[in-house]
Amino acid sequence: MPERVRQMLPSVLSVLLALGVCWALIALTMEPGTATDAYLQMLWGGIGNWPAYLDGAAATVITRPLGESAMKAAILTLTGLSVAVAFKVGLFNIGAQGQMLLGALAAAVVGAQVSLPGVLHVPAALLGAALAGAAWAGIAGLLRIYRGVHEVISTIMLNWVALSLVDNWLVVGPLRGAAEGGQSITGTAEIQATAVLPRLLGEGSRLNLGFPLALVAALAVWVWLTRTRSGFETRAVGLGAEAARAAGIPVARRMGMAMALAGAMAGLAGAVLVLGTEGRYPGTLGAPYGFDGIAIALIGNNHPLGATVSALFFGVLRAGGTRMQLLGVHKSFPELIQGLALLFVAGRMVWLALLRRRNVAPAASAEVPRA
């Protein structure tokens, strides 16, 4: 079995097992037929109702669900990348949520307060979001490098600081949008039309530029990590910091840069949410996509492309999950599947041990160090 396949198998099997467990849960509490129907609904809700389309329904039965999936997948990809990039340098970024809030706010401010020509406005808002996220993650990075503060502790705490700073003060206070037509609104002022991420499949679908942007970001991170000198240095620091130091690699700089890049990715996730769908920083940012990023990265084996695939899959599940409600199945099941898959992936060593026992012995024995 090729090494690459062997690396992916635990994730794939974990997701399948999670799907199976959740199917059994629905089947046991309702009826087996309902469980299968619910899964089908979830599928059509995620990738579009192709049978109906082929029977002559309007194209929106395809484009609308795809738009919802792509929107969620784009954000999950970016927060997943955020966690995965930090992992590569050996840091555990629990702070994607806080970095995303800062990025979202920066995008909302640049989108609403700055006037720029159309071609520049979106890049400027994205850049602002990336910088805000990078700065927020950079705090944790600097604390780790210069003061030895563990990044898990600092990023968790910075999440709360971000929440208080953004949701509880700036958005309801200084940055609150002015009332429109006598109606008071929650959240910041609406972004200008030039800052809106263009939609790609027409107005019927929320698929916007954020989706290709996330894919390009994933590809760029992958190329950087595997093809460039600095990416190699980053991986070397993550896998053996002391050996990297002895080899003359600037360990602190690599850690700081990887952490900043992680923050930038989370910040972009916030920008995609604000510029693509919300149109402003809403009263509260809703779904904890930043925390989902941890699950996405781990299920994707902390590989930039693995995280992307896992984000696409769970994006589809999340978008389709709402359709389960038609059958009386709660829409939180996709999240349950994601949580279970994460739980099973955490038993990675168990999976590898199980796989090893199944006549994969030659490949496995190569990994056992000899004296």
Query: Which residues are at the interface with another protein (CB under 8 A)?
Result: 226-230, 232-233, 235-236, 239-240, 242-250, 361, 366-371
The total of other beta-carbon atoms located within 10 Å of residue 353's CB is: 11
Q: Which two tokens stand for residue 317?
A: 């599940």
| Nearest distance in Å: CB 371, another protein | 3
- Tell whether the torsion through CA atoms of 282, 284, 288 and 293 is positive or negative: positive
Are the beta carbons of 230 and 224 closer than 8 angstroms? Answer: yes
287: Cα within 13 Å, side-chain hemisphere: 18
140 versus 236: smaller Cβ distance to another protein: 236
AA identity, residue 152 = V
In this complex, which beta carbon is closest to another protein, that of residue 250 or of residue 339?
250
Residue closer to another protein by CB (options 248, 286) is 248
Q: Which is nearer to another protein, 119 or 246 (CB)?
A: 246
What span, in angstroms and rounded, lies between the C-alpha atoms of 109 and 192? Answer: 10
Count of other CB atoms within 10 angstroms of residue 246: 9
d(CA 312, CA 296) in angstroms, rounded, equals 10
List b or e across 164-188, with b for residues whose CB sees 16 or more CB atoms inside 10 angstroms: ebbbeebbeeebbbeeeeeeeeebb
Residue 208's DSSP bridge partners are 199
Residue 58 or 243: which CB sits closer to another protein?
243
Task: Assign 3-class secondary structure to 8-76.
Answer: HHHHHHHHHHHHHHHHHHHHHHCCHHHHHHHHHHHHHHHHCCHHHHHCCCCCHHHHHHHHHHHHHHHHH
**Beta carbons of 66 and 48 less than 8 angstroms apart:** yes
* Inter-residue contact 106 to 280 (CB < 8 Å): no
For another protein, the closer CB: 223 or 326: 223
Taking the complex as a whole, how short is the minimal distance between the CB of residue 365 and another protein, in angstroms? 9
Reading the block at residue 255, the tokens are 């850690």
Q: Which is nearer to another protein, 146 or 169 (CB)?
A: 146
Which is closer to another protein, CB of 233 or CB of 292? Answer: 233
CB atoms < 10 A from the CB of 48, how many?
24
Structure tokens at 85: 């990039």
Nearer to another protein, 87 or 333 (CB): 87
141/155 Cα distance (integer angstroms): 9
- Cα–Cα distance for residue pair 71/209, rounded to 1 Å: 9
